[in-house]
Amino acid sequence: MAMICLISKLLFVAICLFVHMNLSSGDFSIVNYSQDNLISTERFIQLFESWMLKYNKIYKNIDEKIYRFEIFKDNLKYIDETNKKNNSYWLGLNVFADLSNNEFKEKYIGSIAPNYTAAELSYDEVLNEGAVNIPEYVDWRQKGAVTPVKQQGSCGSCWTFSAVATIEGIIKIRTGYLNEYSEQELLDCDRGSYGCRGGFPSSALQLVTRYGIHYRNVYPYEGVQRYCRSSQKGPIAAKIDGVRQVPQYNEGALIQAIAYQPVSVVLESAGRAFQLYRGGIFEGPCGNRVDHAVTAVGYGPNYILIKNSWGTGWGEKGFIRIRRGTRNPYGVCGLYSNSCYPVKY
């Protein structure tokens, strides 16, 4: 058995070397696949090598590389099977394609603190469904109110990115200036949350209401929770005037809120399809056990546009469109469960 394993390892190495030499002067922009990639080990390895180059993946030794290759191959088969169902979305070989779903959940999911609620917030009186006419399409990126997609890393700090994105949006809308603010400051200083173990966007926004927030380049992101250093960073960069909650399980109220500004929302993101999402309008499978905070930055007639904090190697360059209009009171992936936004007069 040991001899068979050694031969298999040597064969894998030989194929990798051959493929790498042939890719060394090629175009590494291709991360999708064709049916030809599924017909032989050599084709699988060729695709794996090009994917590694695309996402700058480096493994510590050949054993880890083989382990990741087997997961990659299994994920590709799942991607292919899912895409053949002709859904409104498609999966692809994104940055998480070498992670098992269990590894993905352990590293990136569960960053909303248990029993998440924003019930302590007041409702905004303008959010009455049908009270005003709103546009059919809204995309705050086109209005210059969305900063580039960030990468939270393995810290469960999604709640800080969600909160900060809404602050960046409302400050741009009110002042005309788009700036990047500090997720790390919220991670370090919000005692109503749990740092890298999870937190509440509403709590982070309440902190900024009381004390303000610094620019990101003044208080840069580190991806680990440290002691609060706000007093060492000089004058604050921005402050908000309050926080409001969108009525729960109310699609119309959420759409109306997004029409005014980017909104913090939560959803269930632990599924394998969500992990490997590449594009289109996502409609599940997923439940409503929310575990991840993101930011709604637009909508269309049949989707809500979401900014994530997993970098541009996931989804539609870091964004996902979630199906709306399904008559599911929770929304697809529990999207209507808890939403809030900052107030700036």
SS3 300: strand
Alpha carbon 130 to chain centroid, angstroms: 30
Average pLDDT over residues 130-154: 91
Residue 115 is among the residues annotated as catalytic for this protein: no
Cis-peptide into 285, omega within 30 deg:
yes
Question: How far is residue 132 from each of residues 128, 166, 253, 279, 340, measured CA to CA in Å?
Answer: 8, 22, 11, 31, 19
- Choose the catalytic residue: 292, 333, 338, 340: 292
Answer for the pair 162, 309: CB distance below 8 angstroms, yes or no. yes
Say how many CA atoms lie within 13 Å of 295 toward its Cβ: 34
DSSP, res 213: B
Left if phi > 0, otherwise alpha if psi is -120 to 50, otherwise beta: which for 86? left
The C-alpha atoms of residue 114 and residue 22 are separated, in whole angstroms, by 50
pLDDT band of 120, cuts 50, 70, 90: very low
The two three-digit tokens of residue 10, written as one number: 């040597």
Please list, in sequence order, all residues whose beta carbon lies within 8 angstroms of the beta carbon of residue 174, skipping any fewer than 6 positions away.
344, 345
Burial (Cβ within 10 Å: 0-12, 13-18, ≥19) of residue 195: buried
Please report how the helices 2-23 and 41-54 are oriented relative to each other, as an axis angle in degrees rounded to 10: 60
Chain segment 208-221, per-residue pLDDT in tens: 999 999 999 999 99
SS3 134: coil
pLDDT at 125 over 70: no
List where CATH 3.90.70.10 sits in the chain: 106-343
Q: Give bridge partners of residue 90 from the DSSP assignment.
A: 279
Please report how the helices 201-211 and 158-175 are oriented relative to each other, as an axis angle in degrees rounded to 10: 50
Over the chain, what is the mean pLDDT? 87
Burial (Cβ within 10 Å: 0-12, 13-18, ≥19) of residue 69: buried
The helix, strand and coil proportions of the chain, stated in percent and rounded to the nearest 5, come to 35, 15, 45
Residue 20 is among the residues annotated as catalytic for this protein: no
Residue 158 is among the residues annotated as catalytic for this protein: yes
Chain segment 272-282, per-residue pLDDT in tens: 999 999 999 99
The C-alpha atoms of residue 320 and residue 326 are separated, in whole angstroms, by 17
- Choose the catalytic residue: 37, 101, 288, 308: 308
The C-alpha atoms of residue 148 and residue 138 are separated, in whole angstroms, by 18
Average pLDDT over residues 43-54: 90
pLDDT at 117 over 90: no
Average pLDDT over residues 167-174: 98
Average pLDDT over residues 104-109: 90
pLDDT at 10 over 60: no
Average pLDDT over residues 10-27: 41
The two three-digit tokens of residue 213, written as one number: 């927030």
- CATH domain 106-343 topology: Cathepsin B; Chain A (3.90.70)
pLDDT at 11 over 90: no
Does the pTM of the predicted model rise above 0.75? Answer: yes
Chain segment 300-332, per-residue pLDDT in tens: 999 999 999 999 999 999 999 999 999 899 999
- Choose the catalytic residue: 16, 158, 189, 286: 158
Nearest residue to 293 via CA among 218, 213, 205: 205
